[in-house]
Amino acid sequence: MTVLKDIPEKWFPIVLPLQRQKQKGLNGAKSKKKRTEEERRVRANDREYNEKFQYASNCIMTSKYNIITFLPVNLFEQFQEVANTYFLFLLILQLIPQISSLSWFTTIVPLALVLSITAVKDATDDYFRHKSDNQVNNRQSQVLIRGSLQNEKWMNVRVGDIIKLENNQFVAADLLLLSSSEPHGLCYIETAELDGETNMKVRQSVSVTSELGDQNNLASFDGEVVCEPPNNKLDRFCGTLYWRDKKYTLTNQNMLLRGCVLRNTEACYGLVIFAGPDTKLMQNSGRTKFKRTSIDRLMNTLVLWIFGFLVCMGVILAVGNAVWEREVGSLFQSYLPWDPPVDNFLFSAFLSFWSYVIILNTVVPISLYVSVEVIRLGHSYFINWDQQMFCSQCNTAAEARTTTLNEELGQVEYIFSDKTGTLTQNIMTFNKCSINGQTYGEVTDPLGAQPKRLDFTPFNPLADPDFCFYDDTLLESVKVGDSHTHEFFRLLSLCHTVMSEEKSEGELVYKAQSPDEGALVTAARNFGFVFRSRTPGTITTTEMGRPVTYTLLAILDFNNIRKRMSVIVRNPEGRIRLYCKGADTVLLERLHPCNQELMNITSDHLNEYAADGLRTLALAYRDLSEDEWETWSESHRCADKATSCREDRLAAAYEEIEQDMMLLGATAIEDKLQEGVPETIAVLSLANIKIWVLTGDKQETAVNIGYSCKMLTDDMTEVFIISGHTVQSVRQELRRARERMIELSQTRDGGKEEGMEGWGEACFMGNGCREGQQREGTGGGGGGKQLQCPPAPPPPPPPPSNLMDNISGEFALVINGHSLAHALEADMEMEFVSTACACKAVICCRVTPLQKAQVVEAIKKHKKAVTLAIGDGANDVSMIKSAHIGVGISGQEGIQAVLASDYSFSQFRFLQRLLLVHGRWSYLRMCRFLCYFFYKNFAFTMVHFWFGFFCGFSAQTVYDQYFITLYNIVYTSLPVLAMGIFDQDVPDQRSLEYPKLYEPGQLNLLFNKREFFICIAQGIYTSVVLFFVPCAVLSDATQSTGVPLADYQTFAVTTATALVIVVSVQIALDTGFWTLINHVFVWGSLGSYFTIMFALHSQTLFRIFPNQFHFVGRAQSTLLQPVVWLTIALATAICIVPVLAFRFLKVDLKPQLSDTVRYTQLVRQKKRKPVGRSVGGAWRGVGSVSEGRLGARGGSRRSGYAFAHQEGFGELITSGKNMRLSSLALATFASRHSSSWIDTLRRKKHTHAPHTPPSASGECSPAPSCVSGSVPPLSNSSSVLGSSQDMPIEEETGTAAAQNTQTSSTQTPPASAAASEAAAPQASAQVLSAGVLTPAAVRSHGGDSPGGWTITLGTVQEALFGWKARAPASNSPGPPSVAKETSQIE
């Protein structure tokens, strides 16, 4: 049966009321029951008894509306927006004729348009929710009703029903396993939906019910279960079964939870205990939250401020009206009386106040919100259309499932990632091995032709065709009969707990509990040692084509403390041998002393494997005599039957026999990461984004993946493991970790004091700090060593939070789920957050879905940072919902995460493009759009305010009413939309190369309250110019005929024309990336203004509507006057020239990083040869540096054996309970080959790059190119602003120039400076993505370069790398090396 992969598990506890009897008032009863339920009672096959408890049905509902509630609920939600309420209020005002000087349709039409568009979008989204709900609720289950199986929809399954599950079916509800087609009531399940683990788990029914396999027996089963109430504990269940006057204890091992998939089991029967929202999966799913961006929240605040400003202006003008009416207006009462409702100047002022509120409301026009939605929609389509985020393998494109969070993608500081299926493919491959001191699996010539994949079929007809290996020397060693090689693979074929199923002759399917086991047994299979079958007492193999049966004497089972497993077997010749495999850290110390030399060689191999991020384990054996076996067997039998301390006695017995072993070798398994994961993590770290891994896997698995994807490195100062089981122990471990961080940080900083005079200053500059100053706003960044001047006497320690913020980040924190539960308690949460945020990497293991969400909420609460959660399974849904942004990976675990997410794609590596390109561009575009929008509307509206002082505060508008209507709809809407949709400061390729460009979004630098006030000030300044310059000029101007120009309509046309021209020129200056659409919209809008104005002022319209068009002929007569055009030109110059001057000085004196990147890009284009080079070409020659470091470091080894294993399988095998195989095969766990990032990272060129200059620890370099096939080695360096990476400044032809220019600009004499400048043309300005280009770095010292600009390699290094290059000393390029813990670039 096909496994259904599209079941949406995006469920949270809302119960859809069913149209059934006895379910009236279900929601209220259920909520009441949830408050009072202390235990649950369920009686099998008795619906009447169970329904009196009003348990929830198995129906789920994720939709928000139905046909009746949609309109009122949706309108209520929309009017919670401050702006919509504001415009509704204005609409009501405009309906009052005494105070409205504008038509009501100018507000109601755009408001209705906005509400309608939003309602249609919400209705569409909710329709798809209804559709997915129906898809789930209408799935079929076989329910035992009155002795026969009947097909029922999932939504109709009730608590107490007995349902039948078949192989590969999803579990419909939380079930108590009653019986199974497998012997002893066993069944196998996959829990990927719950905890992300894809390995099999075993569940077993209570012995008394395991015999109820017949439907008739099950139909008569009337047992009653009393258990705990619904909760979210996935690994715990406590209950009791009462049946036939006996009671039986129930545990989690007897339960099948909703979301699991039945595997390798023909059928099983279960009793529904929890249904629908009461299931543990639902209890771990959070409610869907309405997500809003920080810009949205800021805009709401600004709207309130603007409304306050509007009220203030209205009060000022109303007071002016009262004074004017009292002092001046009273003189005109005889022939200009007040309108009938007005009887005194105070009432006139009151009406004038509301009139001005209506006139001045365009400071925040409703078109702002329409434009924002259009821009966001455009950004969403760009994400959907991005071919570089399309996965051809699974034919899946990236999808923006929401249009409201795009700019928030440019502000992310924390990423919370699942492991299985998100970072990894969960595919294990046998990569390398060491046998008797000889290593196999190395690619001997990485620069040569790709080695051929070995074909095992001629040698071994039982070989797995999907197995990949390339080193033929190992196969030759097997063929020639090397005894050590044969014993090595014999161990792998015997020492495991794998089950084998042979569908047909030679067609083997291995059912491994963990992918590690499957990879090792498959490797032995291909090299001629084929595991065929097993019984409780025997193991049958085929060795080099010859069948051999071993007697299985004992299995010494694996557990997390032993970190090894052993088997004791007797071969056909009667010899007894113990085979052991496990973590090298525990196995090597149990070897016979004669293995010392071999152990040293093997340890070196293990170091190499570990440095490559492979999962390693060691293999050993021991021959046993009959006497030794008999003696040990008796002690083992006694320990096994002990009633107290059984585990300890068994461990002691195992320890006794696993001594004096002989070393065979070691294996190295690669847990296949998804393509590009290490590079993506490195680039995101450079962008000052912290990545936390939250996984349900075991600690060893998560840590190993951390090393593989370079989150953890052996160069880290220390990795802290928090594993306490009590509140006190966790608090103590966190405290010790903080104290250790502070101690190591202070020690390291103190050690840097010697010999650091010039270098320390350069590093300070690189970090953006001056003496006595501290960097703020990064929140600790990506970690790293920020150099600090140690004070003379140590001051008293500051508060822990402040002190932890200044800790360098070369630390990592690993915390287990049971410890995390205590760490997230209210009184300890802040301690955990401060400790974790001081670390460069954080890994949380064995966490429940709810804990994942709690971690995200803790960071949101205490760090006030934008968070992003990414995952691929149902266990990630609550985390995805809790984060500001949720990203779903459409992987192997269904589409639950995708359905709950805001964005989805198929590969983790696409995350860097989503954030660094689309996110940064969206944030940049939205900020520029908002700045310009507020500017143009204040420039437009404030003219009314100034005019009020010259029109008796009568609420007379400056412009023609049609100009007021069309200004934001036609004349200025399209250019700003084009900028908001298409603008970019640097190309996408540069955004990826320079991740530091991402930092302004994190610090919210481009649009904040300060930027808002600057825009407002510029708009007010423009309005002053646009009003007073035409007013001053036209007051004394005359036409050529001598007729004065000082009339209202001429002034209105002149001011309106000047306004449109000024704002058009302004947006032309603001646009950084011109497309054809930008040109058409900007100049087309300007042209449309004149076209429409001449049409509206024509005599034709006046004749048709004489009461509507009062400006007849005014456009022609006004714009024919030269003085008018001179006035417009003067106003435009006064408005624009200061902006141009300010921007020029800003770029010259204090450029932003994007300015620097654009400038150096121009330099690069001019200086380098236009030969077709890949982007990765600039990285050539670096690999050997990193490779030498990785190979030389004596890092810790990480055993990968059985990390996904569970204790107890050995006992299960020897008991014989699981010996009968089902006819349906488990999906194979055999390894499959795919290209690996390691193949790239391990390229050895055997040539060092002495011309590669080191980078200061405080800065980062261009990130690895995403389009090049040559990926640079990842450095472990980092800083508060982000990690550093190796980067050659020169192309290979410019090596000498690069070395000669490494001199300090502050210490270089003029001649040297001139030489540096001369060498600069040969340098490719592959500049670093941090730092600010200062005037001293870019202004020529008396030079005559065009525009006063000149650049040398040294100045670029100083300005962009953040350090002043020094002459090489003692054959070591760059500055003197700092302590090992600091960031280094080799």
Residues serving a catalytic function are: 418
For residue 1227 the two structure tokens come to 């999906």
The answer to whether the beta carbons of residues 492 and 544 sit under 8 Å apart is no
User: Which residue type, as a one-letter code, is found at position 1169?
Assistant: K
Q: Which residues contact 935 (CB under 8 A, 6 or more apart)?
A: 1015, 1016, 1018, 1019, 1022, 1063, 1066
CB atoms within 10 A of CB 1207: 15
The three-class DSSP label of residue 1382 is coil
With 0-12 / 13-18 / 19 or more C-beta atoms within 10 angstroms meaning exposed / middle / buried, residue 25 is exposed
Question: Could you say which DSSP state residue 1042 is in?
Answer: S
Burial degree of 448 (CB within 10 A; 0-12, 13-18, 19+): exposed
Other residues' Cβ atoms within 10 Å of the Cβ of residue 976: 27
Query: What b/e sequence results for 1046-1055 when a residue is b if at least 16 CB atoms lie within 10 Å of its CB, and e otherwise?
Result: eeebbbbbbb
Point out which residues pair with 144 in neighbouring strands: 149, 162
Q: Is the Cβ–Cβ distance between 1266 and 992 less than 8 Å?
A: yes
740 conformational bin, left if phi > 0, alpha if psi -120 to 50, beta if neither: alpha
User: Distance between CA 357 and CA 353 in Å, rounded?
Assistant: 6
Q: Which of 342, 365, 445, 448 is nearest to 966 (CA)?
A: 365
1202 to 513, 606, 611, 722, 770: CA distances (angstroms) = 9, 17, 20, 22, 51
Report CA torsion sign: 954, 958, 960, 961: negative
Contacts of 41 (CB under 8 A, 6+ apart): 53, 224, 225, 226
Whether 1069 and 1143 have beta carbons less than 8 Å apart is answered as yes
Question: Could you identify the residue written with the tokens 């009236």?
Answer: 24
| Segment (H or E) for 186 | strand 186-190
* Tokens found for residue 1302: 């490494």
Helices (H), 987-1047: 988-993, 999-1002, 1009-1036
Please give the Cα distance from 689 to 779 (Å, whole number): 10
712 close to 1275: Cβ distance less than 8 angstroms: no
Q: Could you give the dihedral angle defined by the CA atoms of residues 843, 848, 850 and 852, in that order, rounded to the nearest 10 degrees?
A: 10
CA distance 144 to 131: 28
User: Which residue do the tokens 């051929």 mark?
Assistant: 452
From CA 1282, how far away is CA 1276, in angstroms rounded?
Answer: 11
Cα distances from 493 to residues 77, 370, 519, 526, in angstroms, run 64, 67, 11, 11
CB atoms inside a 10 Å sphere around CB 1240: 19
CB atoms within 10 A of CB 24: 10
Cα–Cα distance measured from residue 1231 to residue 900, given in angstroms and rounded to the nearest whole number: 31
Q: How far is CA 148 from CA 158, 162, 209, 341, in A?
A: 16, 11, 18, 83
